[in-house]
Amino acid sequence: ALRKSSDLEKAFATVVLVYNNSADPEGKLSKTETKSLLQTQFGRFIQGQENKPKYQEIISALDEESENKIDFEDFMILLVSLTLMSDLLQVIKNVKSTK
């Protein structure tokens, strides 16, 4: 279904598939699963952020969340937040596409 999709569509489809493969039958992740997924699938974006106050704030909020599960919408907000403050984002911004 995605053969003729754009790179951006494929990227978002990949996020959905990775999330769904890790989510429970209700479509949610536990906080532990969320942290594990971030480490295994998003490690280069969070690498070096561990000591940044904003990163610690985001992870603390994840720990303090009253609900024990994270839905897809909250997961996407988490990914975008972590991406925006990532050192890797600046490196990527400086690379020009060779297409």
- Higher-pLDDT residue of 99 and 7 is 7
In which region does residue 78 sit, left (phi positive, over 0), alpha (psi from -120 to 50) or beta (all else)?
A: alpha
The residue-averaged pLDDT of 63-88 equals 82
Where do the domains of the chain lie, and which CATH numbers do they carry? Answer: 2-98 (1.10.238.10)
Angle at 21 between CA 3 and CA 78, to 5 degrees: 95
Is residue 98 pLDDT above 70, yes or no?
no
Encoded tokens for 87: 């050192």
Is residue 76 pLDDT above 90, yes or no?
yes
In which region does residue 10 sit, left (phi positive, over 0), alpha (psi from -120 to 50) or beta (all else)?
A: alpha
pTM: 0.78
